[in-house]
Every structure is written in structure tokens, then in C-alpha cells.
Chain A
């Protein structure tokens, strides 16, 4: 059945900002979908609020809307574009929910938009627990399959509960009905637990009802990725096994593909159930995943859930097998059947097959608990990881060890370092609770003498995986005992995935010595192809992974090669923005005649798609792994250069070592990078350029710090000198707090003390420099004042309060830095403007997080231009080519240019109990962009995209620090004028009243309820009586009273999902946004239209 001819235009919905649980895997899937649809000749209309995505590049759709993904905005887009069809299955739950809302409100029917790739009944059947249970039961009955749902009993009294135990056994799960956010749920291990939890649950439930469910904690957990076409052809693309058994969210589990501990009978039963369930649910076409739990003692199988859409696991399965699920899902949605679609990798066989693997894939999650002090680190069914790394090896140990080192986090890899170990029992006890790095804890327990049985008892991890850890321990012992590091000994260690660094640690020699010896002995990895078919057919696509095996499959090169180092697993501070830059470089350099080679280990990304670059190496980004890739590529032809500037800190950190090893690093040289990163050297660059920096000093003791602070004056910004990315930073206003901060530091490490420019305007600049000419990409003005990490603060481009004179100064200063440092390519500089003085805060000679935002706001592909500059093109040449504007730059945008606002998205709803106040340490996971002719509207859009619409009426609660009291009056009055009822704590209310704004006084949390039962503000928020919260923090950590009040207010705001503004400038922007919404002049405009306006 060929492509449908009755559809001409398709609306694709993306997934919005990167949040925990919904990350750049949907950029990958959406980008694939857009490419397919355009290649098939459809007009593609795209909506996604996330400017950091590849899919929102204007070249991937005919009309790209960077607008909030809410039913209201999508309706506006539908009304304007009148698409024939809507494809909602490639943008995660966000897209699916939006599509359902548009269907339910009748919008799709009104505008005659057909939903493709999904079916409403199927979505409902898949997502409704009860209906899904019935489906599973029916399938098992009618097909005679081993499948069921977890057994459960609904109870209304304690007697009911006790009776249910006979059927369900302990432990069991207690779930009170109709309580908010699962309040009152818990595990009961015995009768006293049950009486306590179920008793409280019955009380808490408005219907005096609890659901008791059998516990499947500790069961084996599996997933199948399934595709179905409209002719009812179904294939299983991949099976995935969770090493962490049931109880840990699959996104937080270490997983392996294919499943390794099932016999064919069990696997085929699972396959039969998956197919029967999908048919019964009625998934029309496309990809979906289905999860299973298997009782390791009996093989009883429970179907947990299914997702009728492309998911994070689909991205993983696509990268693990070479079967591009999203691309094929898009083709199926427009009418093709699986047998009509060729397998890209073999080119000769069709997509209607099931990939078979002759390698093992391991995925490990990356967490960021260090960014969220106070967060519970226990892994549960609530996902907490912020990214993941995947690795491929010819055996499980090889893949696992590669995956762990791909995390690029010290302490992630297995270690056999000499020294005292904790006691065995202590380690075993630690293993009982799932946590970040549990496999390593298990490995350490093995070193401390734990047996396989003890580890199984503590973790329920399948004995096969436990044995593999023992195997690694035995291999490490052999390696340690070898009299000499011969080729044979090294080969054997390498086959088990030991890195040069691990071998060095075990042998007590340096990593470099191990590598030299290994190279001298000729022990090198080969590169095998991910070919979908275990070598049954020849692969045409060079998608490669390293392994210590027999045959190298790297094809011969045809053109000079450029190797682009990616950014590794997503983490806070290094995410999709860097993947964007790498992908752009690859597209552009391929166009410019180079053979592009991508190296990365993040399965969620577009960069790890096999058709993004000419060659893809799915490899860890450690020095060892990168050097081997460079070596392998050099064997097949000349390497023109390695790009380290675009993937964030990860590749940048390798620059010097690569250069030292003779690798041609292109762009800004490692020496220049050092000039920008080392404080003293950078100070000299600034001095030469005549640019001021805030006063600063260094201290190692309390007394020393107090003396520096006395000299430069409070407030000061303090941070340990040995950490990057804002970790451990704080702004300090007084001696007492500074002493406390210093006392808490590890002894001897120097602390940097900088003058903190209070109330300064912070400015971010992205620029391009070729050695002669500077192209100012964009000037972004932060909406929050200085002191908040640039990644967490909202910003506007073009800047809203800076004049052309200021921009001229900024351009001159940026050029001075670019020249002084010796930049070739991109440069990001952060400035603070205070009392008319432009201070330089820091400079990063690399692609920054804001490059995609700037590119989209100014309609100039900065990363592409940077890649060209790195390989020798000049700004003048790029202007002549038309890649850069013929004249002017991002600092000379026309007066009527649209204003783009970037807003950060923070994951506080995942980390209950963590303070939400923004500070110098970055904690956001993603970003959105709002764009409009008017700042207020652009800001309102950014808020709608990030957190939900700003309220236009109701109650606003205001409580601000003394220093903010003057600045808040004007915007609060604006809110009052718009009809908001203003609530305030006593001090704030007084100031407002004196300035003619009526404010009702509410009790502080610390005051407790009043004598007449008057509630505190926290109670008001929890009761849902407050629509907008303005709370600026004061005091510092460790203090009680007002500081704690703010914490409780903000925590309550997160719990209830009430917008909470924590800066006065944010308040002013919000007031302007609310005014714009109330006026009703909020329209939508595509990036293509914006670009037209800028050029015209």
C-alpha cells in the first residue's frame, strides 16, 4: 500500500523543553519524522517550544512554530495553517496529551484535521488502568497465553484489608483511592505495616477506599519495542532487560539489549502477548512499547503497561539495533507498510523483519543529585535521572564497562584501587536500597568478600548478571597477578572492557604508560558495524563501535575527514544545545566536501543517528576511546581535523591531551582555551584589552576569606576553585555566613572570592571570530539580575534595556577578548553592567548553551558558520556565501525585530523538598523560547511554554526581601490594576499600602495559624487559594525564620503547581506578560516568517 495521496500537509507536535523523563529522544524522533515527511513531499508544520532542538531548525519544516505546546496555541496554529493531518506520536506524552485535548474540545473536527499514526480509543485503552487490565485478561484467555495483571483487591474496611492478605500475601502495595499525587501509598511488609498504612489510607481517601496490590518488587523487568503497520504486520524491534529489577523506574535502571536471561519459550510468550495486546488495544500504526515483569521463581508474567507512541526506549532501541523506529513510524503513518520500506543499513532487505544482534548494548542512567541538596537519592518508580549513556560491546562485560566510563563521572567505573574497603556487610546493606551506582557498590561488595547468593538476596539482580560482576573481579585479579603485561594479558583485559586507566590502577602504573605499552604490543580495538542482522547481510552504513575482536570493518575514506566530538550523556549544564551545535557542524561540513565522523555515546540524540554524519562511532568520550577512533580513521585516509569546541566541556577537556598526542585539533587551540579558563592568564588578557573584571581574591582559611571580603566589600560570590559548572557556588552577604561557608569547605582547597555585582544587569554574548573579523551573534539580556546562573535565568534578545551605544561597547569588548585569547570559531562571554561599567565575568571559547537560541532568534546558523571558520573559512567569505548576513550582525537587529525570550525549565517537581530558589549553581534541565514583536507577549509565551499559562486573574501573594521592596511596587500595582487581589506578609503589605496598593495581610508560615484559625500562607497555597506567588529569598542557608518561610512557600508552590516568581525583574516581566494576555493580542508566527521580516 503506497503513500497516501489525500493528505498534503501534516502538523507535527514536539515535546517541548527537556525535562526529566522527556528529553532529547523526542528531538531525535521528531527530526526523523520531519525529514521523512518532507522527503515524501508533504508540507510540514511543526510546533515545539524548545529552541535547542534540531527539529525546530527552519530547514526541517515548511512552517516552524516555536510556540507553547498548549491546546490554545496549537489551535491558533491549526487555524492559521489548516493542516490536513496531525501526527502526535513522536513528541512524547506532551504531544499525545495535546492531541487528545484538541480532539476532545472538537478543534480537530472543526478544522477537519485527521489524526494519523494514532487512534483515540487506542490511547485511552492503553492509558486507562482498568481497561488495560481487561485487555490483558482477554488476550490471555483467548490466546491461551501466560499473561496477567498484578492481582489487586479494593478494600473499604480494615477487615477487608486483612482478608485480602490471604490472596495477595506480603509484601503488598497500599494505594488509597483519589488522593492527590499518590499521597498515602506505601509498602506493607507485615500486619502492623498494613494496619498503619491502610488505616491512614482509608482515612485519607475521600471514598474510604484503598487498593491493595500484590508486590512485584524484585521481579525481572523487560520491555519490548513493537511496530505495527496498517496491514497488521507486526515486528518486535528490540527486547530490553532491566538489570535493576522491578521497583526502579526503567529510565533510572541499568538496562541491556537484547534480553539475556529468557529462554525462547518465555521470550516467544512475551512476544505473542505484546502482539496480541497491541492488536486488542488497537494501535493503528507506528511504534509502541510494552513492559513486563517476570517472577524469577515461577516465570509468572505480568503485563505492566504499554505506551502507544514512540518513547525514550524507542530511541534506545533504534540506536541499539540500527532500526530507526521514529522514521519508520512516520512512514507507516502516511500509509506505507513495513515491507515497502527498505532497511537503510543493508539497503537490500526490507524493514519488515526483526533485528538480531551479535553484540550487547548497555544503557546506564546519569543522575545529578549533587545539584539538588536535600533530594532523596533512593531510586524508585519515579524517574530521577537527567540523562543516559549507551555503549556497545561484543560481550556484556565489555559493553557494561564502556557504558560506565561513558558517564564521565568519577566514581562511575568499577574500581580495584588499592586501599581499605568498607566492610562486606556495610556494602551489602547499601546494595539493598537502589541508588545511583548500585552496580559499583555490588562490585565493591564482591571485593569485600560477598558471595553471589548474598548479593542476590540483597538486590534481586538476576544471578547471571551477578556472575558477570564476579567474572570481572576474577579478570581484575588475573590482571593484577600477571607477572608481565604481555599482549595476551592486555588483550584479555581489553576484551572484558577494562580501560587503560583501570589497567593502570590495577597494575599501579599510569594510564599513559599502559597505552604506550599496549600500542607498542599492537593491541588495538577493531570497529564492528551495527548492521541489524548479525552479519547475515553486508552493511552499507558505517555505524561503528569498538571492540577487541578480530576484524576491523572501518570502510576506506573518500574525502578528507573531520571528526566531531559530541557531548556525551545529558546532564545539567550540558545537554541538547551542544548536540545541536555538533549536528549542525556535521551537516555543514559534509555539504562543504568533508567526510564527517561523529563520536558520541548518548542514545537520545540526533547526533547518534546513523544518517546524521557520514560515519558514526558510538563510543565513550574518554581520551583513550577518542584516540583509538582517530587512529582508526587515520588508517583509512587523511583526517583534516578534530572539533572539540561544539560538544561542551566534555570534548574541550580533551583538547590539550589530543593535541599532545599529535591529533590535529581545529578551531581555537588548546593553549587559547587555557588562556580563557585559567584565572591569572585570563586576567592578563583582560588587562591588555583594557577591560574590567569584578574585584576578586583567593582564600584557603576563614580569616583569609574575611580579609578578602573586607577588601572588596560584600556581597561576594564564593566558589571552590577546583570545581566547574557552578557547583558549590554561593552569594554571601555577611561575615557570619562567609565563615560558615569556609568552615564547610574541605581543608586546604582554595576558594575564589569575587565581588558580587548586586543589581547588575547580566549580559550573555555569543560571537564568531576568524582571527580578523568578529561576528556578534547575539546579545542577550538576563531578565533576572546577576547572581543567577546564566543557564537558569530568562533572557531577552535583542536586549530590552540596552542602547546601541552599549552594544557597541559590548562588541568592542568581545572582539578584544576574542583577539587576546586567540579564538577561531565560537566564543561566549558573560558580562555584568553595573553603574555604567561593563564588567567581564567569564569567557568560554566554545559553543555555548545559547547558540541554538541565538541562531533561531536571529535566523543565522551560528554553529554551521563556526564549523566552517574552524576549518579555515573567514567571516567575510561566509558573508559572501550568504551563510552570514552581507552586512551587520546580531548586534544590529532592526528596531522592529521580534523579541525572543528564553526561559529555563527546572526539575523541582521531581525533587520534592529541594529549595527552588535560583542561584549561581545551574539546575535547569531545559529551556523554551517565546517570540513576539512585544516583550510582554514573548515573556508570557515563554512562561506558558515552560510552566503553564500565567494567570490573568485571582490572588497574587507577594513577599519580598527588604532590598527588593522598592522595586516591587510598580509591578505589584500593575497586577492590582489588572484586578488581582494582592495578599502579602506584614512587612511587604505595609510598604504596598503606603504606596497606595491595597494588600491583605496573611500570616507567615513561621507564625503558625492565628487564634481564630486564620491560615498561614502555606496553608492558603496548599488549599489552592493562590494563583501567583512572588517570593524573593533573603538570608542564607542554615538560617531559620524568614528564610525557612520562603522555602516552605516555594515548596508548597511546586506541590500545587502555582507559578512562583523569585526575582523582582521576573515579576516586572510577568506583569507585562499578563497585561499582554489580558489585551488579547497574542498571535503566532513561524520562524520562517520571522526570518523573512528580519531580512526584509
Chain B
């Protein structure tokens, strides 16, 4: 069998066998610690331009089905696993992961050293990498090519993954609210969770202006997750939304934009949070949620007590208990809030689904 190579920008290499499509690919090397949910992970637009390594050793066991993708395509730039499944075992599956990756043109590699890779990234931070299914050049040359790939800091990617045209996700059952959702890389489950609660969700392109957003006369505005460096994003539209007093809810990238709109800064984490087991504490109740994460950047904010913003006093609403990183923000008047993690889960636990209820309550209060 041919030998494939994973090359990191600091020169470390991992040998393995090709998986999925063959060829070469570049991206930011990150690891995901979820033990389930590879299909959701692969199709999460926030992974755009990232090569994802799975720490769980056996991947592909349950094949691929038509219900679980979070978007219309695989977004990861490359895929690193240890033990690809040779068979498909699940009543919902209709093809193998290997075939799916091939069909989507995603270059992958199976290496024994996924744990060594994870430890390396943990100690040295996320970095650029390349996968070469059939490396034809010496390693030094490959490292050089990896170093020429763009870095994640300063990357403005939302527009690359977001919808070009607005579309509407109708409410399930009785329509109670109109939500304008700005797509910065939205996952399918997010509008679905809102629709379940009676929201008619108008999904707008990442470039939507405040006029376009508020022109829908929405009960609430939502900013989604998405890839890239939040420092590159234009937060003016969001500022205008906040100034209008319309209820606001943001997730992930949306949280970072909310933070920047409030005047806070964002920074890049050493290796990010990517997995489905992260403990997040709700500062108000003290309750802990096990939550799904996928973020490489975070908001810098004072953990204790409220702070002033142009839109009134705000506070950190959620904190990650592993590293005390900011996981949520809210205006004290309750009208706008956001979280850094994923209440829509997919993949991951549903502990934080109550946040969609809270969004609806805020919209309900505003309607009254």
C-alpha cells in the first residue's frame, strides 16, 4: 500500500495510509475529542480550512446517512483518523465514510499516532499542516509548502461558507416568532432547534447589512457559528441591531462578534476546544452543562462582575470550568446574549438546549 504523510509546519511528520480521496491538502491542524458524531463534525462549516484529527480511534463504524449532516457538504480541509472502519453497521446508513470522503474529494490519512499528534498540538498549539497521499517530494520541501499555506489568524472565512442567497426555514407547528439568522457558517440543527420552538427562521448571507436584517422586522436576530478570525469581521451591522433593541442571540462566532460589538477583544486559544464533553458553568445558577465545542478563538472579558458597554452593562454569563475561558455574554437587561459553545449540539449533548427557550422568552417579552 502507498504511504501517506501528514506534515506539520514545525517539521514533525506522521506516516500512515491514505484515507478518503487521494491528493494533497493544507489547513490548520486541530483535534476533536468527540467519541461520536463524525458525520456532523465533517459537515460543520466552522471546520472550513482545518484538518481535523479524531482522537477516538475507530471512525466510520456507523457509516454515513442522509439525516445527520449539518450542511450540504463536507467542510474539513483534511481528515486524520487511526482506525477507519472496513464495514458499515447501522440501520440508517446508506454508504461508507470512505466512499463519502472520496465522493466529496476530502483527502484523509490513517495514522497510528493520533495521540502523539494530539499531545504535540496540546503542547505547541494548533499549527498548519498538510496531508500528502503520495508524497513525491522530500519532507523538507513538503514542510516548506505547508508553511506557505495561510494562517488562521486574520482569516476572513465566513463569506466562503455562508449561503449566497437568503432562505427561510419554516416554523414547525404554529409560527410564533420571526428570526433573522445571519449565516456565518450555520449548522443545520440551529434553525431546526428554533423552528421546533415556533420560529420562522430567515437565514441571511454573512454579508447581510443591518438594513437587510432589521428590514425583516424580526422578533429576534441570531448570529451563527462560523470559521475564521473574529477580528476580521465587520461588527457594525450587529452594533446597529443591538442599538435597535431587537432581541439578540449568538452562538460561537456569533458570540465573538457580540463581544467585539460590546467593545471586547478576541484572541486565539493555543489549541482550542473541540469536542462534546466540555463543562460550562452558568454563572447565574451555578449549574454545569456538558456541552459541544468547536472554537479556536475566545472573547477576553472580566469574569467577575458586570462591565460597561455602549449598550448598557453586561456580564460573562458562562465560564468553561476546564480553563476559565469565557463561554457566554449577556447584557444585564437580558435582551441580548450569546454563548461560545453549541446549544444546538449535533454532535454532542443537549444540556444547553434551554438557551433556545431563553431566546424565545426574550422575544416573547419583547413582543408583549
B-binding residues in A (CB < 8 A): 231-233, 235-236, 258, 260-265, 267-268, 271-272, 296-299, 337-339, 348-350, 352-360, 394-396, 452, 462-464, 467, 471, 495, 528, 533-538, 548-551
In the bound complex, residues from chain B placing their C-beta under 8 Å from that of A462 are 89
In the bound complex, residues from chain B placing their C-beta under 8 Å from that of A471 are 86
Report if A299-B91 is in contact (Cβ < 8 Å); known contacts: A265-B67, A356-B55, A534-B33.
yes
Report if A358-B115 is in contact (Cβ < 8 Å); known contacts: A260-B58, A471-B86.
yes
Task: Identify the closest chain A residue to B113 (Cβ).
Answer: A550
Binding-face segment, B149-157, B243-251, B273-281, B307-315: B273-281
Task: Identify the closest chain A residue to B289 (Cβ).
Answer: A233
Residue B212 CB within 8 A of the other chain:
no
Residue B286 CB within 8 A of the other chain:
yes
Q: In the complex the two chains form, what is the Cα distance from A336 to B275 in whole Å?
A: 26
In the bound complex, residues from chain B placing their C-beta under 8 Å from that of A235 are 290
Q: In the complex the two chains form, what is the Cα distance from A263 to B92 in whole Å?
A: 9
In contact, A356 and B275 (Cβ under 8 angstroms): yes
In the bound complex, residues from chain A placing their C-beta under 8 Å from that of B56 are 258, 356-358, 534
Given contacts A353-B321, A535-B122, could you give 20 more A-B pairs where the C-beta distance is less than 8 Å? Answer: A260-B58, A261-B90, A264-B34, A264-B40, A264-B68, A296-B91, A339-B288, A349-B321, A350-B321, A352-B279, A356-B34, A356-B35, A358-B57, A464-B85, A464-B89, A536-B31, A536-B55, A536-B118, A549-B116, A550-B14
Q: B119-144: contact bitstring with A at CB < 8 Å (1 yes, 0 no)?
A: 10010000000000000000000000
In the bound complex, residues from chain A placing their C-beta under 8 Å from that of B287 are 231-233
Q: In the complex the two chains form, what is the Cα distance from A353 to B279 in whole Å?
A: 5
In the bound complex, residues from chain A placing their C-beta under 8 Å from that of B265 are none
Residue B254 CB within 8 A of the other chain:
no
Q: In the complex the two chains form, what is the Cα distance from A263 to B122 in whole Å?
A: 27
* Residues of chain B from 102 to 120 with CB closer than 8 A to chain A in the complex: 112-116, 118-119
Task: Identify the closest chain B residue to A397 (Cβ).
Answer: B83
Q: In the complex the two chains form, what is the Cα distance from A260 to B63 in whole Å?
A: 12
**Nearest Cβ on chain A to B275's Cβ, whole angstroms:** 6
Cβ 8 A contact of B82, one of A271, A348, A395: A395
In contact, A551 and B345 (Cβ under 8 angstroms): no
Task: Identify the closest chain B residue to A491 (Cβ).
Answer: B112
Residue B62 CB within 8 A of the other chain:
yes
Cβ 8 A contact of B36, one of A233, A262, A298, A467: A262
Report if A495-B112 is in contact (Cβ < 8 Å); known contacts: A357-B56, A536-B275.
yes
Q: In the complex the two chains form, what is the Cα distance from A533 to B92 in whole Å?
A: 29
A-binding residues in B (CB < 8 A): 14, 31, 33-37, 39-40, 55-58, 61-62, 65, 67-68, 82-83, 85-87, 89-92, 112-116, 118-119, 122, 275-279, 281, 286-288, 290, 321-322, 345-350
Cβ 8 A contact of A339, one of B39, B85, B114, B281: B281
Cβ 8 A contact of A355, one of B57, B112, B277: B277
Q: In the complex the two chains form, what is the Cα distance from A550 to B36 in whole Å?
A: 24
Can you list 29 A-B contacts with CB-CB less than 8 angstroms, sorted by A residue number? Answer: A231-B287, A236-B290, A260-B58, A261-B89, A262-B62, A264-B40, A264-B348, A265-B68, A268-B345, A337-B288, A339-B288, A350-B322, A352-B279, A352-B281, A353-B322, A356-B55, A356-B277, A394-B115, A395-B57, A396-B83, A464-B85, A464-B87, A467-B89, A528-B115, A534-B56, A534-B275, A536-B31, A549-B113, A551-B113
Among A258, A348, A464, chain B packs the most CB atoms within 10 A around the CB of: A464
Report if A297-B91 is in contact (Cβ < 8 Å); known contacts: A356-B35, A536-B33.
yes
In contact, A258 and B281 (Cβ under 8 angstroms): no
Contact residues of A: prevailing secondary structure: loop
**Nearest Cβ on chain B to A275's Cβ, whole angstroms:** 8
Q: In the complex the two chains form, what is the Cα distance from A1071 to B169 in whole Å?
A: 82
Q: In the complex the two chains form, what is the Cα distance from A353 to B62 in whole Å?
A: 25
Cβ 8 A contact of B115, one of A297, A464, A550: A550
Task: Identify the closest chain B residue to A357 (Cβ).
Answer: B35
Q: In the complex the two chains form, what is the Cα distance from A276 to B34 in whole Å?
A: 22
**Nearest Cβ on chain B to A414's Cβ, whole angstroms:** 18
Q: In the complex the two chains form, what is the Cα distance from A354 to B350 in whole Å?
A: 13
In contact, B35 and A338 (Cβ under 8 angstroms): no
Among A236, A263, A272, A357, chain B packs the most CB atoms within 10 A around the CB of: A263
In the bound complex, residues from chain B placing their C-beta under 8 Å from that of A495 are 112
Among B40, B55, B278, B279, chain A packs the most CB atoms within 10 A around the CB of: B279
Q: In the complex the two chains form, what is the Cα distance from A537 to B85 in whole Å?
A: 27
Q: In the complex the two chains form, what is the Cα distance from A659 to B46 in whole Å?
A: 58
In contact, B90 and A263 (Cβ under 8 angstroms): yes
Cβ 8 A contact of A538, one of B58, B114, B122: B122
**Nearest Cβ on chain B to A590's Cβ, whole angstroms:** 28
In the bound complex, residues from chain B placing their C-beta under 8 Å from that of A356 are 33-35, 55-56, 275-277
**Nearest Cβ on chain A to B74's Cβ, whole angstroms:** 16
**Nearest Cβ on chain A to B6's Cβ, whole angstroms:** 12
3 smallest A-B Cβ distances: which pairs?
A264-B37, A534-B55, A550-B113
Report if A359-B86 is in contact (Cβ < 8 Å); known contacts: A264-B346, A349-B321, A394-B115.
no
Report if A394-B112 is in contact (Cβ < 8 Å); known contacts: A263-B37, A462-B89.
yes
In the bound complex, residues from chain B placing their C-beta under 8 Å from that of A233 are 287-288
Among A232, A353, A534, chain B packs the most CB atoms within 10 A around the CB of: A534
Cβ 8 A contact of A550, one of B87, B91, B116: B116
In contact, B118 and A551 (Cβ under 8 angstroms): no
In the bound complex, residues from chain B placing their C-beta under 8 Å from that of A528 are 115
Cβ 8 A contact of A358, one of B85, B114, B276, B347: B114
Cβ 8 A contact of B288, one of A264, A338, A551: A338
Q: In the complex the two chains form, what is the Cα distance from A185 to B91 in whole Å?
A: 32
In the bound complex, residues from chain A placing their C-beta under 8 Å from that of B87 are 452, 463-464, 467
In contact, A394 and B57 (Cβ under 8 angstroms): yes
Cβ 8 A contact of B68, one of A232, A263, A352, A534: A263
In the bound complex, residues from chain B placing their C-beta under 8 Å from that of A394 are 57, 82, 112, 115
In the bound complex, residues from chain A placing their C-beta under 8 Å from that of B90 are 261, 263
Q: In the complex the two chains form, what is the Cα distance from A471 to B58 in whole Å?
A: 14
In contact, B91 and A271 (Cβ under 8 angstroms): no
**Nearest Cβ on chain A to B280's Cβ, whole angstroms:** 9
In contact, A535 and B277 (Cβ under 8 angstroms): no
**Nearest Cβ on chain B to A291's Cβ, whole angstroms:** 19
Among B57, B58, B286, B287, chain A packs the most CB atoms within 10 A around the CB of: B57
In contact, B350 and A353 (Cβ under 8 angstroms): no
In the bound complex, residues from chain B placing their C-beta under 8 Å from that of A551 are 113, 115-116, 119
In the bound complex, residues from chain B placing their C-beta under 8 Å from that of A299 are 91-92
In contact, B57 and A359 (Cβ under 8 angstroms): yes
In the bound complex, residues from chain B placing their C-beta under 8 Å from that of A549 are 112-113, 115-116
**Nearest Cβ on chain A to B77's Cβ, whole angstroms:** 21
In contact, B89 and A463 (Cβ under 8 angstroms): yes
In the bound complex, residues from chain A placing their C-beta under 8 Å from that of B290 are 235-236, 352-354
Task: Identify the closest chain A residue to B85 (Cβ).
Answer: A464
In the bound complex, residues from chain A placing their C-beta under 8 Å from that of B277 are 353-356, 533
In contact, A271 and B68 (Cβ under 8 angstroms): no
Cβ 8 A contact of B347, one of A258, A264, A548: A264
Report if A358-B55 is in contact (Cβ < 8 Å); known contacts: A297-B91, A467-B87, A534-B118.
yes
Q: In the complex the two chains form, what is the Cα distance from A533 to B55 in whole Å?
A: 10
Report if A268-B348 is in contact (Cβ < 8 Å); known contacts: A299-B92, A471-B86, A534-B55.
yes
Q: In the complex the two chains form, what is the Cα distance from A298 to B114 in whole Å?
A: 34
In contact, B115 and A537 (Cβ under 8 angstroms): no
In contact, A267 and B36 (Cβ under 8 angstroms): yes
